[in-house]
Chain A
Amino acid sequence: MPVSNSQPDRNNVQGMIMRGYTHPWSCHLIFKFATQPGAKGFIKAILPYVQSAADWGDDKPEMMLNIGLTFTGLKVVSKLTTSDLAGFPPTFKQGPASAGSQQSLNDGKSNIDTWVFGQTGKQVDCVVHVYGMDEPALNKLVKIVADAAVAGGLTEYLPIANGTKRLEEYATVPRNSIHFGYLDGIDQPALNWGNPDDPADLSAFLIGYPNNTSQPGPSQGNAGVFAKDGCYNAFRMLYQDVDTFDNFLDTNAKEIAPKLGLSIADATEWMAAKLNGRWRDGSPLELTPDKPNPELSHATAFGYSGDTTGMKCPFSAHNRVANPRDEVLSEPGLPPRLIRRGMAYGQPFNSKTASEDRGLIGLFLCGSLSNQFELLYSWINTTNFSNIFPNQQGQDALIANRSMPGADTSFTIPTSKGPVEIESLPQFVVTRGTAYCLLPSISTLKSIVE
């Protein structure tokens, strides 16, 4: 039985699971395999560059990569039989465009038809995440991966600029800021070890250890052996419509500034914070409700249970939905957590770059695609997870899919001067593609190419 209590060996776990990389350059290459020998040859060629979670001390790698395989991908490369493969969770097997997953993701058929990867006809088998300390280092390793792909007969999806460019990180200033101007990458699960009841424990993310929250699987049979020390990655390319976002802030700031007694500039920042739950500098509304406080930019010690009116942070602000913290939930259990390893792509919006693509390269790591990623997505699209939320058909103010049938797209911001009512929130974020990957252990990757 592969479930074990012993502490995971960091040398066997792919690095991005246990640590957030600070390499400023990254590129995310998306492939479909052609043949088993070709796919194995490809993995063999890039295997020496796979970074583990072991401490690299002072010897920070100039360039490195991590590998994800979708269910169709691991069917091609693994030695697992049909009966073994049956052991993987259905959500992983069926993939993000399936009817089951779409009950939570709610992208809508018309959106899925436009995906640049991940739906029927654009099957993804493998995603390679390449990181570099500088541009030459990144380019060097990207070339090695791309050459190996050509040698193995793989098809590469180029998601940018009408199928001509790869999905590359845009090195934002300040570091970790994303389009829409928010600071990101602030709060992450602690990934401590030894408490299977804690949703932030490493055992909620790594497959093969006892856990009572997300209950990662498979843990049985050969599928369990294959998956042990792996973690799933819901890889999602999310376009951010900066023009719509800025116009929304401008229009509403002008309207509400007099009511709130704020300048238009301050009302703009206020509205951006109310959509998200943190000011654009990262400081949380719960700790500093009236104005941003840079000293609290990285603060994570706060809750929502003391704010039962939403006066500080609106109920459906993105952060309050994506991690309700101490909010009383309507279903038993604590809120699930996600490891976020995403980054921005595309140039900042201005008059010259307006028509270009930009957004978030979403890497949402979890031990269970259903019980962490999809559960949170269902809350994002329908805020029905806590009885305290006045609008049980409401939506995450920042990122929900507004075209979902039955969605209430209104947004209420409680204030001491009476509520600010937004009749209908626009669609700020549009999905461009999704792939559900397993980030297998390093021993599993080696076993594939043996």
Chain B
Amino acid sequence: MTNPLTLYVPIKQDAKTQETAQGIHDNFVAAVTAGLDASAIVHYARISLIPNASGEGFHAIMLMTEFDGPMNPYLKFFWDNPGTKLAFSAIAAIALTPPNPPVTDLTGFENFINNNNLNDAGDMYAAYPQTVKEIEKAFSTAKAH
């Protein structure tokens, strides 16, 4: 099964936090690519900065992804993966409301995701049921022929 995850985290408004948020955004793809390639469970992942209503600065950071496997056990793969662990920890560190429990271990991470995820499985349309692994396998076989 493919799961949607929309992590929406309002962030602090001071200049340093805003700059950090911009940095997380700008480095996101480079930071997570190797780990996500290796995991072969993530279809897409992207990050957005939600502007303040005033038009100045950012109100929140939002990470959206579609990944294979049930949510509860598969969160561990994101935590054990250095690239995604760093990205999620960086987001937790600039959250307007400090996460409780703190995001310093897997249980803290699981809670952080559960408390800030705007989606559940029923919210998502999918054009195809295949997993990343199945898709990659199908195309690598096709290439071999």
Interface residues of A (CB under 8 A from B): 83, 86-91, 99-101, 103-104, 215, 217-221, 223, 330-333, 368-371, 374-375, 378, 384, 387, 392, 406
Contact = CB atoms under 8 A, between A and B. Distances in A.
Contact of B101 (A100, A221, A332, A370): A221
A93 to B, nearest CB: 9
Contact of B70 (A90, A333, A374): A374
7 contacts: A90-B111, A215-B76, A215-B105, A215-B106, A219-B107, A333-B80, A370-B110
A400 to B, nearest CB: 14
Contacts of B121: 99, 103
Given A86-B100, A99-B121, A218 B107 contact: yes
Nearest to A336: B73
Contact of A89 (B38, B41, B100, B111): B111
B80 A91 contact: no
Given A87-B111, A91-B110, A219-B105, A370 B72 contact: yes
Most buried by A among B70, B104, B134: B70
Interface string B114-145: 10000011100000010101100100000000
Contacts, number: 96
B101 A223 contact: yes
A220 B101 contact: yes
A90 B100 contact: no
Most buried by A among B38, B41, B104, B111: B111
Contacts of A87: 100-101, 107-108, 111
Given A87-B111, A221-B101, A387-B137, 11 more contacts: A87-B100, A87-B107, A90-B110, A90-B114, A103-B70, A219-B107, A220-B101, A332-B77, A378-B70, A384-B131, A392-B131
A105 to B, nearest CB: 9
Interface string B63-88: 00000011111011101100000000
B39 interface: yes
B107 A101 contact: no
B140 to A, nearest CB: 12
Interface string B34-70: 0000111100000000000000000000000000011
Given A103-B121, A406-B129, A331 B107 contact: no
Most buried by A among B1, B39, B73, B134: B73
A221 B120 CA distance: 29
B105 A370 contact: no
Interface residues of B, number: 35
Given A100-B72, A103-B121, A331-B39, A89 B107 contact: yes
A305 B38 CA distance: 22
Given A217-B106, A220-B105, A370 B133 contact: no
B101 A86 contact: yes
Contacts of B40: 330
Nearest to B133: A330
A378 B105 contact: no
A223 B106 CA distance: 14
A104 B131 contact: no
Given A217-B107, A223-B101, A330-B133, A374 B73 contact: yes
Contact of A83 (B100, B104, B110): B100
A99 B120 CA distance: 8
A406 B2 CA distance: 12
A221 B107 CA distance: 12
A100 B40 CA distance: 21
B133 A91 contact: no
Given A218-B107, A220-B104, A370-B76, A104 B70 contact: yes
B102 interface: yes
Contact of A331 (B75, B77, B120, B137): B77
B118 to A, nearest CB: 14
Contacts of B101: 86-87, 218, 220-221, 223
Most buried by B among A221, A371, A406: A371
Nearest to B38: A332
Contacts of A99: 120-122
B106 A375 contact: no
B56 to A, nearest CB: 33
Contact of B72 (A104, A221, A331): A104
Contacts of B108: 87, 217, 220
Given A83-B100, A218-B101, A220-B104, A103 B110 contact: no
Contacts of A91: 72, 110
A215 B77 CA distance: 12
B73 A370 contact: yes
Nearest to B1: A103
Contacts of B72: 90-91, 100-101, 103-104, 369-370, 374
Nearest to B120: A99
B75 A370 contact: yes
Contacts of A374: 70, 72-73
Contacts of A104: 70, 72-73
Contacts of B71: 100, 103
Most buried by A among B40, B41, B76: B76
A140 B76 CA distance: 45
A331 B41 contact: yes
Contacts of A220: 101-102, 104-105, 107-108
A330 B39 CA distance: 8
Contacts of B131: 384, 392
